[in-house]
Amino acid sequence: MSTTIGSFENSEVYLQRGPRIPFSFDINVLFSGYEKCDPLHFAGPCYKAAYLFHIVLDGKGTLKVNNAVYNLKKHDMFLISPSDYVFYQADEDDPWEYKWIKFDGASVKFLLENAGLTGQSVFSCVSDEQWDVINGYMDRTLEYMVDEVAHYVRATGMFYVAFGWFLNEFGEDRKQTPDKMSFIKIINFITENFTKSLDMDTIARRTNYNRSHIYRLFMKNMNCSPKVYIDNLRLSLACEMLHETQYQIRDIVYKVGFKNYISFITAFKKKYGVLPTDYRADELLGKITTDKAEDK
């Protein structure tokens, strides 16, 4: 995937490397945690608001995902997606102990697929060496997850390192097909330009792929149309601006890339169930903040 650029490939003086197509991913690490559970401690049944990845350090427990039931033990791992209806409970005699990371973002589905982490909920390390590696990544992510910018950046970086390890150990990083390469190129272009005037004709012209090919790639990799994907990026940025800035809502509409106020309000209400003015209100923000106990 990586290429050496220039005519100094074997030089000790100059070396420059980079991927054939620059990557740009959107992932938010929300929480990381640890718990030694009491006997029969449980969570659910419920849907989670984001992705949750657990590793079982010791003990036993039961995981129910949709219609499947798993009996888990030390060194098992499990992934919960927002579309999963889940219930999990510690064993009565030997309750489990686990660490977890909660995350979301527009690129998560794509990266999970490439890391071999979709299509199943439960994973097991095949060697003690693999377990030590992933446990170490979880340890350091948890260590850095404090309310300071520098440490949070380190936690996010460690999470990316862990993702890269999964890609290398279990994923398809060495099997990039032309479709995957073209999709990465399209995703990167959209990520860099979604706040501008962006439509299918522009994307097709700037990436040199036709509209039907772009649409097919999005339905295959994201299970949504390019428009829905772009709107979700814009709405996510709008939420950040509503929460962190004092911009008027009409200003935010155009800063995030929507063409008019009405289409923004309609899309925001459909996705979040509230109007932007209500979302910004302190009392509502307090109500919709997920309780930390539910994140476990």
235-262 confidence digits (pLDDT tens): 989 988 888 888 899 999 999 999 899 9
Residues 135 and 192 reside in one and the same domain: no
Eight-class DSSP state of 273? S
Residues 151 and 243 reside in one and the same domain: no
Instruction: Give me the phi and psi of 97, to 5 degrees please.
Output: -130, 130
Q: How many CB atoms lie within 10 A of CB 116?
A: 16
Q: What pLDDT is stored for residue 281 in this prediction?
A: 78
Give the residue ranges of DSSP H helices in 101-260: 108-114, 128-144, 149-170, 178-193, 200-207, 211-221, 226-244, 249-255
Residues 154 and 71 reside in one and the same domain: yes
179 residue type, one letter = D
44-63 confidence digits (pLDDT tens): 899 998 999 999 999 999 99
d(CA 137, CA 86): 25
Indicate if the alpha-carbon torsion angle 195, 200, 206, 211 is positive or negative: positive
Residues 79 and 148 reside in one and the same domain: yes
Tokens in use for 178?
């032309």
Q: Is residue 8 part of a domain?
A: no
When mean pLDDT is compared across 5-9, 50-54, 91-95, 215-219, the lowest value belongs to 5-9
Residues 189 and 247 reside in one and the same domain: yes
d(CA 26, CA 221): 15
d(CA 252, CA 60): 48
Instruction: Give me the phi and psi of 38, to 5 degrees please.
Output: -75, 160
Residues 156 and 43 reside in one and the same domain: yes
Q: Is residue 22 part of a domain?
A: no
Q: How many domains does the chain have?
A: 2
Eight-class DSSP state of 37? P
Nearest CA among 187, 237, 239 for reference residue 209: 187
- Collapse the DSSP code of 88 into the 3-class scheme (helix H, G, I; strand E, B; otherwise coil) and give the result: strand
The answer to whether the predicted template modeling score (pTM) of the entire model surpasses 0.95 is no
Q: Is residue 2 part of a domain?
A: no
- Final residue in a domain of this structure, among 145, 170, 195: 170
118-168 confidence digits (pLDDT tens): 777 888 776 788 888 889 999 999 888 887 888 888 888 888 888 888 777
Q: What pLDDT is stored for residue 162 in this prediction?
A: 85
Q: Is residue 42 part of a domain?
A: yes
Q: Which domain CATH number covers 220?
A: 1.10.10.60
**Domain extent for 187:** 178-286
Indicate if the alpha-carbon torsion angle 31, 37, 38, 42 is positive or negative: positive
Residues 152 and 194 reside in one and the same domain: no
Q: Which domain CATH number covers 35?
A: 2.60.120.280
The percent of the chain in helix, strand and coil, each rounded to the nearest 5, is 45, 20, 35
